[in-house]
Chains A and B, each alone.
Chain A
Amino acid sequence: MNSATWYGLVGAALAGIGLYGLIVQHHVLRKILSFNLLGAGVFLLAGAVARRGAAAGLPGDPVLQGLVITGIIVAFAATVLAVTLLLRLGQATGSASLSPRALDGATSSDGETKTSLDANEASPRAPPAATDPRDGATH
């Protein structure tokens, strides 16, 4: 086995680890993190294939390497959007889980999470007192 094949196998294992985490984790931030591990595994697979395509004096296939760069950037854009949606979910529900059990816990059964929910509802969702009335009028 050479290095390229070995990193290909590591990429395959990383994809498996990421997929498992994506399904099993409850905290959405950790789901996002797992999804990035899954993506890193797929990119590494592509990197191994690019490495095997070393020819013409280049250490790897530059076209595939270029595609991986584009992939990393698009993955970043998706991650930012997912994290921002999650932060909004956290503001709105006080929970960072998609599980109905967690949402139930936040609204009825669990006393501790309920207080944190109330605290959240009170502060960030109320219109900020500092807003200048002219700010709305200028638009």
Chain B
Amino acid sequence: MAAGAGFLLDLGFGLLLLAVATFALRTRTTYAAVVGFVAFGVLLALVWFRLGAADVAITEAAIGSGLTGLLLLNASAMLRHTESAAVGLQTRLPVRAAAFVAAAAVAAGLAVAVLALPSPAPTLAPMAVAGAPATGLGNPVAATLMAFRATDTLLEKVVLLLAIIGIWSLARDELWGGRPGRRHEADPKGTLVFFARLLPPVGIVFGVYLLFVGADHPGGAFQGGTILAAMWLLAIMARLSDTPAIDGRWLRFWLIAGPAAFVLVGLAGLALGEAFLAYPQPFAKPIILGIELAKIVTVAVTLAMLVAGPPERPGNPHR
């Protein structure tokens, strides 16, 4: 691995990654910077494959590049009127020089740390492989997320919920309970509507497939849920669907269903005398799949509502 075609490929990927990051930083318009950032995310996903981390690669492509890209593109379009004012501003040279020195020092320090990493690298891989049979999951990353470090995954869901609360809190008072986002305009005979009818059936099947395959192979509820969210957002943008009013009961139910199922299973583990989130041995896999099933819907709804933003239109007055 030290030499040869594989390393040359890695060398090229790394240099390209740095070049695209620099482009995203230095390009003049915000829009071009965001496009550069999306390209950066796709490249980074390829790098994750090269690092033997297919699960991370799928997450990076779906979230880091895909959804973040959509969010930033949308924001750059909505902020276009502020562009001219911000372009004229230049940070003063001494500040830039100091920032450069600080950034270079941080990068150099990290580089030294990378070169000084201990040589028989410490690893938890053997322990993960040894513990995996007890979970019934063949994918050690899934076993990590759902069993060994399940508390992290539970708290991550809570973070997403907190982000939703934070975003809804930015709504104007009179629009509380309204629908997020603008009502999109779409030509009913246009390409967008065509694809919004064509892609969702395929995307929904693929999203659910990712959930089930994630037990033994790269994939999982989060990655699958992201695809479901993307399909919903596509339908919303093509005006085939609309964002739900934020005080809807079903919406609230699905937002908390995933974390709630997780917490209930955790408390059951505590009640059965073992520990919080201890899965009873022979049922570990069905329980984990049950949590994942609730999670995929919650993830899809949460991500779509996060991207949709705070309510901007009055909701259904008849409720």
Q: Which residues of A contact B (CB under 8 A)?
A: 1-21, 23-27, 29-30, 32-34, 36-37, 40-41, 43-45, 47-70, 72-81, 83-88, 90, 94-97, 99, 101-102, 105-106, 110, 112-113, 116, 119-120, 127-128, 130-132, 134-136, 138-139
B89 & A16 in contact (Cβ 8 Å cutoff): no
Write out the residue numbers on chain B whose beta carbons fall within 8 Å of the beta carbon of A96.
79, 82-83, 85-86
Write out the residue numbers on chain B whose beta carbons fall within 8 Å of the beta carbon of A59.
51-53
A101 & B89 in contact (Cβ 8 Å cutoff): yes
A58 & B129 in contact (Cβ 8 Å cutoff): yes
* Known contacts A53-B123, A131-B174; A15 and B44 CB within 8 A of each other: no
Q: Residue on B with the closest CB to A99?
A: B89
B85 & A23 in contact (Cβ 8 Å cutoff): no
* Known contacts A13-B18, A69-B141; A7 and B63 CB within 8 A of each other: no
Q: CA A60 – CA B222 in complex, angstroms?
A: 21
A51 & B52 in contact (Cβ 8 Å cutoff): yes
Write out the residue numbers on chain B whose beta carbons fall within 8 Å of the beta carbon of A127.
174
Write out the residue numbers on chain A whose beta carbons fall within 8 Å of the beta carbon of B124.
53, 61-64
A79 & B149 in contact (Cβ 8 Å cutoff): no
29 A-B contact pairs sorted by A residue (CB < 8 Å): A5-B117, A6-B10, A6-B14, A13-B111, A15-B107, A19-B102, A26-B91, A27-B79, A29-B34, A33-B37, A36-B37, A36-B68, A37-B24, A37-B37, A40-B40, A47-B51, A47-B56, A50-B53, A60-B51, A62-B141, A63-B125, A69-B145, A83-B72, A88-B170, A90-B78, A96-B85, A97-B82, A97-B89, A131-B175
Contact partner of B123 (CB less than 8 A), chosen from A2, A17, A61, is: A61
A69, A75, A105 interface centre (most CB from chain B within 10 Å)? A69
Contact partner of A55 (CB less than 8 A), chosen from B67, B123, B177, is: B123
Q: Residue on A with the closest CB to B247?
A: A139
Write out the residue numbers on chain A whose beta carbons fall within 8 Å of the beta carbon of B56.
43, 47, 65, 68-69, 72
Q: B residues 105-130 with Cβ under 8 Å of A?
A: 106-108, 110-111, 113-115, 117, 121-126, 128-129
Q: CA A40 – CA B313 in complex, angstroms?
A: 35
Q: Residue on A with the closest CB to B50?
A: A3
Interface residues on B, range: 35 or more
| Distance (whole angstroms) from the CB of B19 to the closest CB of chain A | 11
Q: B residues 155-172 with Cβ under 8 Å of A?
A: 156, 159-160, 162-163, 166-167, 170
Interface presence of B249 (CB below 8 A): no
A63 & B99 in contact (Cβ 8 Å cutoff): no
Interface string of B72-94 (1 = CB under 8 A from A): 10011011011111100111000
Q: Which residues of B contact A (CB under 8 A)?
A: 1-2, 6-7, 10-11, 14, 17-18, 21-22, 24-25, 30, 33-34, 37, 40-41, 44, 47-48, 50-53, 55-56, 59-60, 63-64, 67-68, 71-72, 75-76, 78-79, 81-86, 89-91, 95-96, 99-100, 102-104, 106-108, 110-111, 113-115, 117, 121-126, 128-129, 140-141, 143-145, 148-149, 152-153, 156, 159-160, 162-163, 166-167, 170, 174-178, 222, 306-307, 309-310, 313-315, 317, 319
Other contacts beyond A1-B2, A62-B128, A135-B178: 16, CB < 8 A: A4-B51, A7-B50, A23-B95, A40-B41, A41-B110, A47-B47, A52-B123, A55-B123, A59-B53, A61-B125, A63-B125, A85-B170, A95-B86, A97-B89, A113-B85, A128-B314
A80 & B306 in contact (Cβ 8 Å cutoff): yes
Q: CA A53 – CA B310 in complex, angstroms?
A: 43
Write out the residue numbers on chain B whose beta carbons fall within 8 Å of the beta carbon of A101.
89
B59 & A72 in contact (Cβ 8 Å cutoff): yes
B7 & A73 in contact (Cβ 8 Å cutoff): no
Write out the residue numbers on chain B whose beta carbons fall within 8 Å of the beta carbon of A90.
78-79, 81-82
A81 & B167 in contact (Cβ 8 Å cutoff): yes
B47 & A45 in contact (Cβ 8 Å cutoff): no
A138 & B317 in contact (Cβ 8 Å cutoff): yes
B40 & A131 in contact (Cβ 8 Å cutoff): no
Q: CA A15 – CA B17 in complex, angstroms?
A: 12
A34 & B25 in contact (Cβ 8 Å cutoff): yes
Q: CA A95 – CA B67 in complex, angstroms?
A: 25
A47 & B53 in contact (Cβ 8 Å cutoff): yes
